[in-house]
Amino acid sequence: MSAPALSKPNLTVAAPGWLTASIMLATIMQVLDTTIANVALPHMASSLGATQEEITWVLTSYIVSSAIATPMTGWVADRFGRRMVFAAAIAGFTGASLACGIATSLPEMIVFRVIQGVTGAVLIPLSQAVLLDINPREKVGQAMAIYGAGIMVGPIIGPTLGGWLTETFNWRFVFLVNLPVGLIALLGVLAFLPRETPRHRRFDMFGFAMLAVAVGALQLMLDRGQAVDWFDSLETWIYLALMISGAWVFVIHSLTADDPFVTPGMFRDRNFVMGLLFIFIIGMTMFSGLALLPPLLQRLMGYPVIETGIVMAPRGVGTMLSMIIVGRLVSKIDPRYLVLFGLGLTAWSLHMMTGFSLQMDSRLIVTSGVMQGLGLGFVFVPLSTLTFATIDAKFRGDATAMFSLVRNVGSGVGISLVTVVLSRMSSVNHEEIGSALTATAPQVQMQAPGLVQGSPLYTQIFDGLVSQQAYMVGYIDNFFFMMLLTLAVVPIAFLLRKPSAAPAPQESAPAIE
């Protein structure tokens, strides 16, 4: 019995498999650069003559410029054609990577990182939009599995790869490694992505400016908040005022303008709106763990950079495994059930992480990491499928850009939130633990007579031990908070509509090879 014919994709290409490989190379290259440079910052600071506070602008400039440029993806793709925009973005990102690798001063580095952020911003939403368009509906789940693998595995291997390149060669190779990847991706896109007729769209400069102010101010507030002690600083209040003002004016303008920068029509799709809310919360938990684990393993448990990457690598293995499984299941099982299953695995992994201690070995870290990787894979692929299942194809470019923007904002909010919780709870825990270790406490009199006698050395040692335990409890508090946040998103899964059945079979169309 012959297999049923596949429905026709929105965009027919000659070699969808090769095009998918090229697109994913570009995606992984961009995602890696969000984390690969983190471990190289101290080396950059000494080489470029910058202070530790100044060198953080290497990260901030990239994050803020990328956030501001992401919403433009739909407009530039329609106006100039996806092939031209994709190729220009890859070329610009690769060229900026080369410039970063040979930069001789901090201002040069910041300028080149801004160019990286602007050109790289369009790669993620464009990749998702093209994969949705070149695959028939029956293959969308598999396409989203491939896309999700690049999105989720990239940040996991980034710090490890960055640490290895920095220690083996030097920090400049953190950027130069992009050159061969970018060249191959560029050739693939030029060879296999067909030209499309550009669609004229008026550019709403005022709407874009207001959105850019809101998003840029939010990212600056999240990135700079911890360094300036949040709302004890005037700088944070300025960012907050700019964010609220820009967002308010942008919303009012979008609802009243004839041709706004972001079309309100796409927000009439319930699945899309619920998907945005869902990915915002998942973004908070997805990357927060990646931000918490390296300092926990390196500072409290004494793991070297390379060993930290090795211990965290199984999380990526779990993600890859779940992507393979869920890519085959998403067209056969209600995607909402897969999302719920993934949320359950993720919540259970975070529950396991609340059992971390300073005396444990790496087995619990590896086990919980694999579990969390499996869970996030089961969430991301069916969620992406459900989010875009019912939205009109004409909104797809703007919708994928908004999806990427909301995910990035969620991750920024999540990382800032867990950082604040860690800082505040560690202080509270230190005070509570320290208050129990008085000179009159029986345990202290029996086991630490030096502390009873007021020895400065014993006092210093005990204070260090108390700080370690206080931070450990702070990390556990964060893991528990992330578990509750994951469970809180469960009701949203029931608000997503199940995709309708595929249309009647048509002529056989190309899919991922």
- HSE at residue 513, side-chain half, CA atoms within 13 A, is 9
Residue ranges of the chain whose pLDDT lies below 50:
1-3, 452, 501-513
Instruction: Determine the Cα–Cα distance for residues 338 and 383; give it in Å rounded to an integer.
Output: 9
pLDDT of 506 reads 39
Quote the pLDDT of residue 454. Answer: 53
What pLDDT is attached to residue 347?
92
3-state secondary structure 162-183: HHHHHHHCCCCHHHHCHHHHHH
* pLDDT for position 219: 79
> Could you write out the DSSP letters of every residue in 313-348?
HHHHHHHHHHHHHHHHHTTTS-HHHHHHHHHHHHHH
Q: For residue 139, how many C-alpha atoms fall within 13 Å in the half-sphere facing its CB?
A: 24
What is the structure's pLDDT at 345? 92
pLDDT of res. 2: 46
Q: Is 47 left (phi over 0), alpha (psi -120 to 50) or beta?
A: alpha
Indicate the pTM of the whole model. Answer: 0.76
Q: What is the DSSP string of 50-87?
A: --HHHHTHHHHHHHHHHHHHGGGHHHHHHHH-HHHHHH
DSSP symbols for 144-165: HHHHHHHHHHHHHHHHHHHHHH
The answer to whether 403 touches 125, Cβ cutoff 8 Å, is yes
Per residue in 96-124, pLDDT (tens digit) is: 999 998 988 888 888 999 899 889 888 88
Spell out the residues 6+ positions from residue 129 whose beta carbon is closer than 8 angstroms to its own: 77, 82, 396, 397, 400
pLDDT of residue 6: 56
Task: Give the whole-angstrom CA distance, residue 258 versus residue 272.
Answer: 23
Answer positive or negative: Cα dihedral of 218, 75, 58, 179: positive
Determine whether 512 is exposed, middle or buried from the number of CB atoms within 10 Å of its CB (0-12, 13-18, 19+).
middle
Q: Which residues of 440-468 are buried (b: 16+ CB within 10 A; e: fewer)?
A: eeeebeeebeebeeeeeebeeebeeebbe
At residue 1, the pLDDT reads 43
Can you tell me the distance from the alpha carbon of 243 to that of 235, in angstroms, rounded to the nearest whole number?
A: 12
Q: Residue 302 class from Cβ within 10 Å (0-12 exposed, 13-18 middle, 19+ buried)?
A: exposed
Tell me what pLDDT residue 502 has: 43
Within its chain, how far is the Cα of 484 from the centroid? 20
Helices 73-80 and 396-436, packing angle to 10 deg: 160
